Structure 1
Amino acid sequence: MTRGAGRAGGSTGPRSVDVARLAGVSQKTVSRVFNDEPYVSDDVRRRVLDAAGRLGYRRNGAARALASGRTRSLGVVTLGSALYGPTSLLMGLERAVRDTGYALRVVNTVEGDPNGVAGAVGTLLDQGVDGIVVCEPIAEEAGVGGLAVDVPVLVLGTPSPLTAPLVLTAGDGAALMARAATQHLLELGHMTVHHLAGPQRWYGARDRLRGWRAALLDSGREVPPVVHGDWSAASGHAAGRALAADRAVSAVFAANDDMAIGLIRALAEAGRRVPEDVSVVGFDDVPVAAYVTPPLTTVRQPFDAVARGGVERLVHVIERPDEPPLPAQVPPVDLVVRASTGPPPRT
């Protein structure tokens, strides 16, 4: 009769003691390696990981949580949206968190719910997460100020709606990117740049408008009236019909690529050529931006870099609370110049 290896409770899976025996180290050293603690030589770390791989050993997350007082999980508060920006940022967070060995718990908010962030944060705290990432892009933080948060918080691209022991920020470079897009058009020779803005309840739309206006003021240029859209190509098309009727318009910075694409369609329907008559810059660099007619000049958002850098800093303060936080890394502005921009038409 074939019998198991005699593990307690009938389990036949490898244990840390088995890894220690095969690697020729103590069980405490195995624990140090898997807890990513310092003072373990590279050779010992390699031997332990090789032994674990050969045995098929995996850490017991529940036991580790009991021992450390942590669940090794991060919570994310995000808007439930199919828009490119929020979706891409959430995907970047999922990849970044997976690489840290932490679990990810996501709670979506609903646009128009003033207590959505507070409710989502409360749900995550009830689940015992070790840290919270807030990437709520809309100014609907009513009720959050009185919420007691006792874990570190990472806020991506928005003002912090929470009070916590430690609040980290990342991904707040939209104003700089908008400034670069506007400056590109000015450097091509346009006297001013019109702006097709996103809905101003969104922090990102506010930042892009702020960067556009700052670039014009710093250059001593006229600041035209702002035209507003709702992020959709349809709203860009509607705004484009009004802009196309104004023959003084020679350059437009749109707050996202979808609105820019709708704008270009409206300009074409009005007989205004892009870029010969009107130059257009978008924002995001959605996958289709390179394949529209003409290919769209745009600012590429560094979603993965922001997510990875932010998660790395959050995990660091969770696991090493006595050390200073890691410095924030600001990704460089990535302006992707394609065929939708050029010099202004000759008069």
Structure 2
Amino acid sequence: MTETFKPPSQADVAALAGVSSQTVSRVANERSNVDEETRQRVLSAMQVLGYRPNSAARALVTGRFRMLGVISFSLSAHGNSRTLQAISEAAQTAGYSVNLVGPESQTGGAMRKAFSKLTGQGVDGIIMIEAQILDHPDLRLPSGVPVVVADGDPDQLHPSVDNNQAVGAEAATAHLLGLGHRTVWHLAGPQDSYSARRRAAAWFSTLKRAGAPVPAVLYGDWSAGSGYAIGRRLAEDKDVTAVFVANDHMALGLIKALREAGREVPRDVSVIGYDDIPESGFFHPPLTTVHQDFEEVGRLCVSLLLDQLAHGHRPGGEERSMVTPQLVVRESTAPPPR
């Protein structure tokens, strides 16, 4: 006859640690009214026995599930994946787990469904990564759960953490103008992307302030393939000597198209990207780009959310943190050909 495994109980922990079951409960629920020596003895007994506190029961006592929800539409995007990793690490350090949901589409219905799924599974708060749908006029999320938005709340309806896209795009454009280029073409990201729109707006205003001609914006989809397709068109225009590309992947495709057309980077055309992906320093030539600190964005998102949990949920977008990007100059930019 097979013996049924019985997981260790709170009473087992209490017996091993030489304390009462009530003391074990206080330690499991992270109460402060336990001296440190006793707390460590109980934690050691839990580890020895493999005891796991019942999270549902603990939530009834503390009002906390120790779980943060994350909603992200594009998990494969470089910035989103780096931000998510930092969120997971910061949450773990703070004693929280992370529950991730990737909605099937960027619609109000999909967003509400994702939000309901997370709240139904017992999360203490939710972080949304680059949720462009938040600016939809018909979308209003329930107000009972704290929410923090990373790079995607144009109307500032919620506390948020943003990369300062305007500073980064201005630095990229000004760098090319400073090298002596008459103007700078722009290969933007998708028009429905909040980040792409902010980069394009800063590129436009920088050219206007400099009195430089403003070429028509070209739109890609963040992929190297779209950069390649648009690069083939730009390669035919000999007036194109500098291009600011809204991300590094599209810049990679653009450089390939230019080279195939016989236009060398940076001898004939300077190219600057955005994001500073790990591979950008190994492009041919190494890519001048704008470095975004996605890890800092993730850490600040968790910090802002935990602050709301600790001091009471404060709805509204008045709490906003900005992370400043840095221009990284490599070998893909140079003065224009003479």
| 2:183 and 2:207 in contact (8 A); partners too | yes
Structure 1 residue 314 displacement after superposition: 0.6
2:212 aligned partner: 221
| 1:80 and 1:110 in contact (8 A); partners too | no
Give the residue type in structure 2 aligned to 1:340.
S
1:159 aligned partner: 153
- 5+ residue gaps, structure 1, are 1-7
Question: Which string of whole-angstrom CA distances, capped at 9 and with x for unpartnered residues, describes residues 76-121 of structure 1?
Answer: 1111442222222222222222222112111111245452111111
Give the residue type in structure 1 aligned to 2:65.
T
Question: Which string of whole-angstrom CA distances, capped at 9 and with x for unpartnered residues, describes residues 104-153 of structure 1?
Answer: 11111124545211111121222232111111444476586344231111
Change (3 A) 1:199 1:241: same
2:200 aligned partner: 209
TM-score in terms of structure 1 length: 0.82
1:66 aligned partner: 60
Distance between the aligned counterparts of 2:104 and 2:145, measured in 1?
Answer: 24
Which of 145, 153, 166 is the matching residue for 2:139?
145
Distance between the aligned counterparts of 1:79 and 1:115, measured in 2?
Answer: 13
Structure 1 residue 231 displacement after superposition: 1.1
| 1:195 and 1:255 in contact (8 A); partners too | yes
2:306 aligned partner: 315
Aligned length: 327
1:341 paired to 2:333: yes
Q: Sequence identity, in percent?
A: 39
- 5+ residue gaps, structure 2, are 1-6
Q: 1:134 aligns to what SS in structure 2?
A: strand
Structure 1 residue 219 displacement after superposition: 2.1
Which of 324, 327, 334 is the matching residue for 1:332?
324
Change (3 A) 1:76 1:33: closer
| 1:77 and 1:108 in contact (8 A); partners too | yes
Structure 1 residue 50 displacement after superposition: 4.6
Structure 1 stretch displaced more, 305-314 or 285-294: 285-294
1:130 paired to 2:158: no
TM-score in terms of structure 2 length: 0.84
1:4 aligned partner: none
Distance between the aligned counterparts of 1:284 and 1:256, measured in 2?
Answer: 6
1:55 paired to 2:54: no
Which of 284, 301, 317 is the matching residue for 1:293?
284
Distance between the aligned counterparts of 2:260 and 2:56, measured in 1?
Answer: 62
Change (3 A) 1:341 1:91: same
1:197 paired to 2:188: yes
Change (3 A) 1:323 1:170: closer
1:5 aligned partner: none
Q: 2:285 aligns to what SS in structure 1?
A: coil
Which of 81, 94, 113 is the matching residue for 1:87?
81
